[in-house]
């Protein structure tokens, strides 16, 4: 591939990725969050958690984990952010509030549709890149989806933990939001000992330090 063509392909991918700043996390929309975060906001926070927790671990490829964290939601720039309830667009806001008080599960059809849409988006976004860059991006996304390596597992668990942190923030600014499903998802997914300790602190913080004043 000519250098000019490669540069244009990289700029095209950057342009696609920029859209993640404008793709709102759909789960927050469904429960009525005012000004919900974007997918790009979420991606940054997940990568930060992975950096903080993964640094210094023996036999752990931190660079690989950060690549996975950075790219795990990249296809959503074109495919959008699907939720377990997207097969039921007629569900009302009140019904969504009820659904989000339990552990949501994708139906097989919804999971398959999400996978197909994101695979197609990733192909479209990377088709003009060099083989090396394309394989880096596609392999990282597929590694996250398969959830079979230590790096992918940490990223996936950090993803669930970050969603709970965000849920508690929204709950503090909009009391009464139905956010318990984010707690259930985190509890079901997080197994890493370091992340488990953080999970416990989110809803059971230590008492404040005594003030000298």
DSSP symbols for the chain: --HHHHHHHHHHHHHHHHGGGT-B-HHHHHTT-SSPPBHHHHHHHHHHHHHHHHTT-TT--HHHHHHHHHHTTTTHHHH----TTTT-TT--HHHHHHHTTS-----HHHHHHHHHHHHHHHHHHHTTS-HHHHHHHHHHHHHHHHT-SHHHHHHHHHHHHHHHHHHHHHHHHSTT---HHHHHHHHHH---HHHHHHHHHHHSPPPPPPP--
Per residue in 126-178, pLDDT (tens digit) is 999 999 999 999 999 999 999 999 999 999 999 999 999 999 999 999 999 98
Digit-coded pLDDT (tens) for 109-119: 888 888 999 99
What token pair was written down for 60? Answer: 């752990």
Which residues, 6 or more positions from 159, have their beta carbon under 8 angstroms from its beta carbon?
42, 46, 72
Q: What is the pTM of this model?
A: 0.87
- Residue whose pair of structure tokens reads 């990249």 in the numeric block: 74
Band (3; pLDDT cuts 50, 70, 90): confident
């Amino acid at each position: 591939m000519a250098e000019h063509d490669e540069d244009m392909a990289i700029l095209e991918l950057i342009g696609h990725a920029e859209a993640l700043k404008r793709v709102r996390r759909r789960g927050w929309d469904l429960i009525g969050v005012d000004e919900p975060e974007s997918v790009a906001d979420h991606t940054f926070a997940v990568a930060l958690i992975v950096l903080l927790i993964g640094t210094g671990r023996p036999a752990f490829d931190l660079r690989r984990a950060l690549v996975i964290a950075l790219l795990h939601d990249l296809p959503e720039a074109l495919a959008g952010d699907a939720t377990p309830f997207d097969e039921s667009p007629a569900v009302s806001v009140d019904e969504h509030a009820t659904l989000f008080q339990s552990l949501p599960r994708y139906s097989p059809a919804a999971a398959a549709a999400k996978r197909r849409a994101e695979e197609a988006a990733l192909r479209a976004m990377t088709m003009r890149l060099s083989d090396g860059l394309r394989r880096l991006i596609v392999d990282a996304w597929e590694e996250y989806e398969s959830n079979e390596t230590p790096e992918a597992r940490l990223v996936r668990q950090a993803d669930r933990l970050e969603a709970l942190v965000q849920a508690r923030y929204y709950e503090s600014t909009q009391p009464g939001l139905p956010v318990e499903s984010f707690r259930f998802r985190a509890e079901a997914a997080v197994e890493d000992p370091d992340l488990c300790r953080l999970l416990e602190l989110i809803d059971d913080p230590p008492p404040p330090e005594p003030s000298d004043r």
